Amino acid sequence: MEEKELYLPIKKYLESKGYVIKAEVKDIDIVGVKEHHTIAVELKTTVSLKLIYQAIDRQKMCDKVYIGLPKSAIKSHQANMRQFIYLLKRLDIGLIQVSDNEASLLMESDGFDMKRSIAQNKRKKKAILKEFSLRESDENVGGMKGKKMTHYRERVLKIAHYLEEFKTGSPKDIKAFTGVMDTPNILQKNYYMWFKKVDRGIYTLTLMGEKALNEEKSIRSAKDKTID
């Protein structure tokens, strides 16, 4: 589908809403006017950063801005659709979809309420601050891929190091030595599959746990060499 094929369906839709429509007005794909209220619509066949840039630029000149996309473009962007819609809401940009020669309003935005957004995400902010305050190490590098250090992983590593040194241990002994208060829960859930029970209430490291510790030592050694 070409951009010009989006024009007529969107024109008809906006005219049904009472707008007088004209195309290519000062480089804007579609301009609509209704009782001194102006709207702009930028047409594209794919979702791109360039489209967002253009829509933001049109906000300097028009009361309301929309982007017009074919349904196929929106469908191809489905995996990131939630984030895309959030971005449009944040920027106060509406979204018009064209399918089978018919246009429909997929999303309207009437201004982003930052205070409401913050209030709705208090739990996430609290979780970030908790992880930040409890994390003991600073081993992660911004932008890194793969395994990342978390407060949970730090606790699991302490238990693993204990079992590496003493070979076996009970939850009570490990907890007393490492200070990891939720040792029983960590050993029972065994999320990383690093531990195994060898007797009633006695644990040891699995081969997977031993391998993880060796990998951690290699990473630390490489990091120390880099610092030196």
Q: What is the pLDDT of residues 47-62, one digit of tens each?
A: 888 999 999 999 998 9
pLDDT value of residue 67: 94
Structure pTM? 0.62
Choose the CATH number for 146-217 among 1.10.3720.10, 1.10.10.10, 3.40.50.970, 3.40.225.10: 1.10.10.10
Q: What is the pLDDT of residues 4-26, one digit of tens each?
A: 889 999 999 999 999 999 999 98
Q: What is the pLDDT of residues 152-185, one digit of tens each?
A: 999 999 999 999 999 999 999 999 999 999 999 9
pLDDT value of residue 160: 95
Q: What is the pLDDT of residues 71-117, one digit of tens each?
A: 988 888 788 888 888 899 889 999 999 998 899 999 887 776 667 76
Please report which confidence band the pLDDT of residue 143 belongs to, taking 50, 70 and 90 as the band edges. Answer: low
Choose between 133 and 108: higher pLDDT: 108
pLDDT value of residue 124: 79
Please report which confidence band the pLDDT of residue 227 belongs to, taking 50, 70 and 90 as the band edges. Answer: low
Q: Are 5 and 103 in contact (CB under 8 A)?
A: no
Q: By 3-state DSSP, what share of the chain in percent is helix, strand and coil, each rounded to 5?
A: 50, 20, 25
Third-level CATH fold of 4-107: Trna Endonuclease; Chain: A, domain 1 (3.40.1350)
Domain locations along the chain: 4-107, 146-217
